[in-house]
Amino acid sequence: MENTERQFSTLNHFILWFGASISIAEIVTGTLLAPLGLEQGLKSILLGHVIGASILTLAGLIGACSGLSATASFRISFGRYGSYVFSVLNMVQLLGWTAVMIICGSKAIDGISRVLLGFENERLWCLFIGGLILIWISRGLQAIFRIHTVVVAALFLCFMALAWQVISSPVPTTGGGGEGISFGSGVELSVTMCLSWLPLISDYSRILKKPVSGTIIGVTGYFLGSMLMFSIGLGAALLAGTSEISEMLLGAGLGLAGLFIVAFSTVTNTFLDAHSSGVSAANILPGINERRVGVCVCALGTLVALFVPLSSYEDFLYFIGSVFAPLFAILLVDFFLFRRRDIGQSLNVPNLLLWLAGFIVYRLLLSTSIFLGTTFPVMCIIALACVLMNLALGKRRA
């Protein structure tokens, strides 16, 4: 990509990704760690985010250095047709995230409005949040960024009020109720939340004025914000004995501010999902209007949110990990170790088979308790296999 097309500043990139982390979904995931207790929960959050943010940085650098979108960069390792497969999987993932975020947001708003206003209508709140996201998408990233920045700052202040409520109260150090969770599974939840952004980050890092420093600082913004959100969720769940966001916000005395928090944190986060779905579609159909695709995905996600109940949230996160952990293990090896840049090949069958093996290994290892979680070991195994396969194929060609 030409430098003239790189118009995104490092500060804007930091704000974008810090804003992405200020999310109800991040807090909800943090509440799932309550059975670990405060100390082990915080340790799993830190370890998982260090692993996840490191991988996210490397993925962002691919787009920053090559100027390719995330899904276009898949062509380096899997060829044009292989990238189509992962573009579709990514669009499914993004559609799923759009629906999940709208459902989480509408449930939380409904809980708050029921207590404060005596009004409840979850489907109406789904439409309300979906409409706000549509406005964000239709305006475009550059046009709405000033408003986006103000909203992110306001959200941060509101969440600080919730954080203060957690910090200033005696939080139980022992695990909360609900299903038990191993330390490794706790680490994996933190890692997979970072991994869910792997197929998106290059869509934004590719237009950075300062590719390397901008990518690192942007991921740092996400790392700090996500750590905070997870910790708030963990502490609030231990303190309140509940994983219901609406009860936490009301308990913190945020009241109507809680409605603002839920609505706009959902918008600033889900906007990225819908926008990047358009970028994924453009990898399959060059010339397609990315913004219109984003609008369609948002509308479809809203419909899904209206009629499909939210269940198996953890399974959804693990599915993301099983698809994208082996994919990026292969891509990172090809890009950084073998320095491949060619995107002209039609299909790379060996790498596709290796990815399939990684997908299967990930699913098998999920049932085991590994201290570092599942993603890191799987990526190491597949990366090593990719190196050995390339060396073997190289010798064969020679």
Number of domains forming the structure of the chain: 1
Specify if 145 maps to a domain.
Answer: yes
Structural domain boundaries, residue 278: 10-311
Please check whether residue 252 lies inside any domain of the structure: yes
CATH at residue 156: 1.10.4160.10
Q: Is residue 303 part of a domain?
A: yes
Q: Is residue 18 situated within a structural domain?
A: yes
Q: Closest Cα partner for 304 from 103, 149, 136, 137?
A: 103
HEC-encoded secondary structure of the chain = CCHHHCCECHHHHHHHHHHHHCCHHHHHHHHCCHHHCHHHHHHHHHHHHHHHHHHHHHHHHHHHHHCCCHHHHCHHHHHHHHHHHHHHHHHHHHHHHHHHHHHHHHHHHHHHHHHHCCCCCHHHHHHHHHHHHHHHHHHCHHHHHHHHHHHHHHHHHHHHHHHHHHHCCCCCCCCCCCCCCCHHHHHHHHHHHHHCCHHHHHHHHCCECCHHHHHHHHHHHHHHHHHHHHHHHHHHHHHHCCCCHHHHHHHCCCCHHHHHHHHHHHHHHHHHHHHHHHHHHHHHCCCCCHHHHHHHHHHHHHHHHHHCCCCCHHHHHHHHHHHHHHHHHHHHHHHHHCCCCCCCCCCCHHHHHHHHHHHHHHHHHCCCCCCCCCHHHHHHHHHHHHHHHHHHHHHHHC
Q: Provide the pLDDT for residue 397.
A: 39
Can you list the residues of the chain whose pLDDT is less than 50? 1-4, 395-398
**Domain assignment of residue 350, yes or no:** no
pLDDT in tens, 351-387: 999 999 999 999 999 888 788 888 899 999 999 999 9
Q: What is the pLDDT of residue 357?
A: 97
CA–CA separation, 275 and 388 (whole Å): 37
| Residue 93 counted as domain residue | yes
Instruction: List 208's β-bridge partners, or say none.
Output: 8
- Its pTM stands at 0.86
Provide the token pair at 90: 């990514």
User: How high is the pLDDT of residue 377?
Assistant: 93
Report CA dihedral (277, 279, 284, 290) to the nearest 10 degrees: 90
- Give the Cα separation of 191 and 141 in Å (integer): 27
pLDDT of res. 17: 93
Q: Please, what is the end-to-end C-alpha distance for the chain in angstroms?
A: 34
